[in-house]
Structure 1
Amino acid sequence: MTNHHQSTRGRPRVAFVTCAELPDLDPDDRLALGPLAARGVAVEIVVWDDPAVDWSGYDLVVLRSPWDYARRRDEFVAWARTVPALVNPADVVAWNTDKRYLSELAAAGVPTVPTQWVEPGRAWTPPAGGEYVIKPAVSAGSRDTGRYDLTGPEHRELAVAHVRRLCDAGRVAMVQPYLDAVDTAGETALLFLAGPGGPAFSHAIRKGPMLTGPDLGEVALYKEERIDARSATTEQRAVAEKVLAVVPGGPDRLLYARVDLIPGPDGEPVLVELELTEPSLFVGYADGAPERLADAVLTHLARRR
């Protein structure tokens, strides 16, 4: 690693972008630094809103852990549009940082978790019963997210208050049925990394269930997750490929993609989220994944020569 005032003596100069709360990156991302150095790439860890940074001095700017963007999304998207050689590209960032993209994917035939959107200023009446997840359309790290059993009056009141709190802050709330298969099967994240022919499947992980009850206003940057290696099924791979095929602008521009799936009521995989902005890539959970991430960076550097 070098700082952003040092010469890299002709080596490709790449920024790994983070936030001030993670000045040394997420530890998982650091696993790619050695393979990149071995490939002759000089990587610098840079905070996205540091005014001293000259972004034009980098051959590639890779979004990694700028996880404080959710409360400053407009500022973050505006910044992304000023950065040359940003991956994933700024228009993808603008589209993917508002979870209303799920409606577009559903309209394109992608199986997704059914979602009700509550705009600021709109009244919301909770369903008569059942478990639901409430979260903002712009969020990261499972912040401002809660799980509610609407058969009970206390949870109904808390759910209404959660939606109101989000809308009063000018945020769009999303309400989704809680798919209880996640309690046993967990969530499967499929990771894709750029290659000569476009994004290629790299590995998969299992995330254990995280939501145990209502949102209590935690202010941590992100919620801790239980992660294990997992093999993706043929059905999961097929859904993930279908998701990537309908990304605006096409998938070939992507350096990375993470497709998060859970079993639907019929057991078939459905999309929870498509992570194209700053996802954890979990390269520490699969042999060769740090090297594949380094090669993905090289693929994008070669395209810009």
Structure 2
Amino acid sequence: MPHVAFATSADSADLTDDDRQLAAALRERDVTIDPAVWSDESVDWVDYDAVLVRSCWDYHSRIGEFEDWVTAVAAETTLWNTPSTICWNSHKFYLRDLAGRGIETVPTTYVSGADSRSLEAILDANDWREAVVKPAVSAGTDQIWRTDRARADSHQERFESLRDHEDILVQQFVPEISDGEWSLVFADGAYTHGVLNRPEAGDFRILDHFGGRRPVESPPPDVQEAAGAVVAAATDELGEVPLYARVDGLEVDGTFTLFELDLVQPSLGFDRHPAAAGVLADAVVERLDEL
């Protein structure tokens, strides 16, 4: 019987609702599942046939340690997604790679430590009235804020403080976010389901604890096709098909625009679409059989 670990953070050691659905589906397929905290040095990862990175919510604040862990685990057993996929996707400059492959992405200026441009200058150069600032390594809404030309000067110190420590993305604020952001899930490259996330009125953050809502709606065929093109572009970039993927984006002037591709530890919406957990479980079992 295959033995698989779900790598978690200490705060989600008992598994999230998503992960419980996937764990149950795998157990129905005779796979033993153990939750294991990724940073727990007492865990012997070699005991597992495979490790799935699932809810390591604190990885972005310990990115060096996390990347070392990814490398070490992959040397002892099979890790999904793979180390090359995780390391590429954990730094949001991957959006530039996907844009280079023809994917429509939210307009973005990529800022590294040597870039001395002010926040106001970036807005002016792009003719943006509003923008969102975010670290290149982040999860959820940590250290993400909204700015505009009227506040850019007062936000400059905060901007410089962040830039001095890490790479930054400055992205044009897209007002269509108020209509909702699609999250489309893929298992082994195949579309399984989608979830619509709507922010609370007046906000741009779609997470539940900021008042976000997730009405049960299915993405239209053109959105599904565009999201599939994102996964295909990532597959070409990486030279491998991700076991799991979540594509986040919305329609802007009738065109699906990518906000984020999560190949590290995405929430997969199995709480709203439990049958889809079985699709990913089948993909896991098929890969286990190939080991």
Give the TM-score normalised by the residue count of structure 2.
0.89
Q: Secondary structure at the match of 2:113?
A: coil
Alpha-carbon distance, 1:238 to partner: 2.0
Amino acid in structure 1 at the alignment position of 2:161: R
**Residue 259 of structure 1 corresponds to which residue in structure 2?**
247
**Does the 8 Å contact 1:191/1:201 carry over to 2?**
yes
- Paired with 1:71 and 1:269, the residues of 2 have a C-alpha distance of 30
Amino acid in structure 1 at the alignment position of 2:56: P
Does 2:230 align with 1:243?
yes
Where do 1:51-200 residues align within 5 Å?
51-83=41-73, 84-125=77-118, 126=120, 127-128=123-124, 130-150=129-149, 152=150, 155-168=151-164, 170-184=165-179, 186-194=180-188, 199-200=189-190
Q: Secondary structure at the match of 2:283?
A: helix
**Does the 8 Å contact 1:188/1:261 carry over to 2?**
yes
- Paired with 2:43 and 2:201, the residues of 1 have a C-alpha distance of 38
Amino acid in structure 1 at the alignment position of 2:244: Y
| Counterpart selection for 1:273 from 237, 260, 277 | 260
Q: Secondary structure at the match of 1:259?
A: strand
Alpha-carbon distance, 1:225 to partner: 4.2
Give the TM-score normalised by the residue count of structure 1.
0.85
Stretch of structure 1 that moved more, 273-282 or 113-122: 113-122
Q: Cα 1:88–1:214, aligned 2, differ >3 Å: closer, same or farther?
A: closer
Deviations 1:213-254 (A, max 9, x none): 799xxxxxx8674323321222212221221122233343x2
Structure with more of its chain in helix, by fraction: 2
Alpha-carbon distance, 1:267 to partner: 2.6
**Does the 8 Å contact 2:178/2:201 carry over to 1?**
no
RMSD after superposition: 2.2
**Residue 7 of structure 1 corresponds to which residue in structure 2?**
none
**Does the 8 Å contact 1:148/1:214 carry over to 2?**
no
Q: Cα 1:113–1:80, aligned 2, differ >3 Å: closer, same or farther?
A: same
Q: Secondary structure at the match of 2:216?
A: strand
Amino acid in structure 2 at the alignment position of 1:171: E
Does 2:199 align with 1:205?
no
Aligned residues: percent identity?
Answer: 35
Amino acid in structure 1 at the alignment position of 2:130: E
Deviations 1:92-148 (A, max 9, x none): 011000000111110111111111112124323322451110000000012111112
Q: Cα 1:137–1:223, aligned 2, differ >3 Å: closer, same or farther?
A: farther
Q: Cα 1:213–1:34, aligned 2, differ >3 Å: closer, same or farther?
A: closer
Stretches of 4+ aligned residues off by more than 4 angstroms: 210-215, 222-225
**Residue 233 of structure 1 corresponds to which residue in structure 2?**
220
| Counterpart selection for 1:294 from 281, 284, 287 | 281
**Does the 8 Å contact 1:130/1:149 carry over to 2?**
yes
- Paired with 1:74 and 1:181, the residues of 2 have a C-alpha distance of 35
Does 2:34 align with 1:44?
yes
Amino acid in structure 2 at the alignment position of 1:188: W
